[in-house]
Amino acid sequence: MKTPSESQTSNTSHNRLISHGADSQNGWEDLLHAIKARLREAGDLPGATVDQQVSLLEQLSAFELGRFLLENRGLNAYWTHQLVNYRQSAEPAGSMSPLEVRVFERLPAVLATRERFGIFRQQLQALLKPGLALVSIPCGLMGELLLLDYEGQSDITLTGIDLDQAALNGALALAKERGLADRLSLRCEDAWISGPGNEFDVLASNGLNIYEPDNARVTALYRAFFNKLKPGGTLVTSFLTPPPALSEESPWNLTEIDHESLALQHLMFVRVIEAKWSAFRTHAQTMAQLGDAGFVDIRFIDDRARMFPTVVAQKPLQ
């Protein structure tokens, strides 16, 4: 896969992206050397020697997404869009390395993310009616809204809010491609800032809370979403659930997860990449946080593996 070049901040005074952004100012070779040194110092793992870990690092460094993850330890708007919209039949045979194919087609987290994207689109499509104001925060390339069918839906407005200007540029390009640019407004803003309030009928948000470990900050984020919605408005959001190794309350459905791919995913994301998306929460925690923010009628829609649930919640009419 080729690349041009979710995102936001949890620190309103520093305007920093928490989902991606290279941690090192050194060059690519220096980064690889540093990761190899870290892996060798950490030593062997059960089922993965240091040499096997280094081999995985070298395989990752051979394709664009792998290099992006190694440099940024998170996903940006472009790569999120590529992962959720990937179709095996669209890729020429032999155009992807074996590891790249496994990442796009087999990793449980990627499959759950893709399924979650489909659930978002189903829920959002069902909410559409003429005259609505919809917003995505952080919007990324905004596929969950821009790829919906708006035939017969007059006067619907679309807003994208993101702190990453590259994401906003990508959203505008996709809107033009979809013939929706005249409905679209884009704002470079921090998701935690409430703004004028009561602006939107529907708010979609994915991929931000999974990078924020502070539960109080996530509740504050939900409060900001609550304030942005009109009375009676709907929030469609999501969260990552904890794996069984981290929580006895893990809801994972292990019968729906390929265990060999899960082991590869853990080795790749936790050991080699040290991915930043590690803020896991249970259904009960998310229910409590959304309730504290003021939402009611909270319902969950699980993906098959119960790794990346969708949540639909309402702002009361009064």
Which tens digit of pLDDT belongs to each residue from 116-140? 999 999 999 999 999 999 999 999 9
- Average pLDDT, integer, range 230-239: 98
Return the pLDDT at 16: 56
Sheet containing strand 157-162, edge to edge, reads: 184-188, 157-162, 133-136, 200-205, 229-238, 310-314, 296-301
Specify burial of residue 149 (Cβ count, 10 A radius: 0-12, 13-18, 19+): exposed
**Residue 8 pLDDT:** 38
**How is residue 69 written in tokens?**
């993850």
* Beta strands at 229-238 and 310-314: parallel, antiparallel or unpaired: antiparallel
Entry pTM: 0.90
Q: Using an 8 Å Cβ cutoff, are 222 and 295 in contact?
A: yes
Sheet strands (E) in 129-250: 133-136, 157-162, 184-188, 200-205, 229-238
Q: What are phi and psi of 73, to 5 degrees?
A: 60, 20
pLDDT band of residue 69 (cuts 50, 70, 90) is very high
Which of the four pLDDT bands, split at 50, 70 and 90, describes residue 271? very high
Strands 184-188 and 200-205: unpaired
pLDDT of the residue at 11: 35
Q: Token pair for residue 285?
A: 């925690």
Give strand ranges (E) for 7-156.
133-136
- Sequence ranges of the domains in the chain: 28-111+250-273, 116-243+278-314
Q: Where are the beta strands (DSSP E) in 103-171?
A: 133-136, 157-162
- How far, CA to CA in Å, does 258 sit from each of 111, 261, 264? 11, 5, 10
Tell me which of 25 and 188 has the higher pLDDT: 188
Q: Is 34 left (phi over 0), alpha (psi -120 to 50) or beta?
A: alpha
pLDDT at 13: 33
Identify any residues that bridge with 299 across adjacent strands, giving them in sequence order: 312
pLDDT at residue 14 greater than cutoff 90: no
The yes-or-no verdict on residue 269 having pLDDT over 70 is yes
pLDDT score of 2: 38
* Single-letter residue type at 190: D
Q: CA-CA distance, 143 to 85, in Å (whole number)? A: 9
pLDDT 10s digits, 200-230? 999 999 989 999 999 999 999 999 999 999 9
184-188 and 157-162 beta bridge pairing: parallel
Maximum Cα interatomic distance, the chain, rounded to a whole number of Å: 61
- The encoded tokens of residue 38 equal 């870290």
What pLDDT does residue 129 have? 95
How far CA 219 is from CA of 14, 224, 225, 240, 254, in Å, comes to 20, 9, 10, 15, 29
Residue with tokens 């460094």: 61
What tokens does 152 get?
A: 């017969």
Report the percentage of the chain scoring pLDDT > 70.
92
As to burial, measured by CB atoms within 10 angstroms (0-12 exposed, 13-18 middle, 19+ buried), residue 247 is middle
Q: Is the pLDDT of residue 20 over 90?
A: no
User: Is residue 246 exposed (0-12), middle (13-18) or buried (19+ Cβ within 10 Å)?
Assistant: exposed
Mean pLDDT of the chain: 91
Ordered alpha helix ranges (H), 43-94: 50-60, 64-72, 77-85
CATH architecture of the domain formed by 116-243+278-314: 3-Layer(aba) Sandwich (3.40)
The residue-averaged pLDDT of 286-312 equals 98
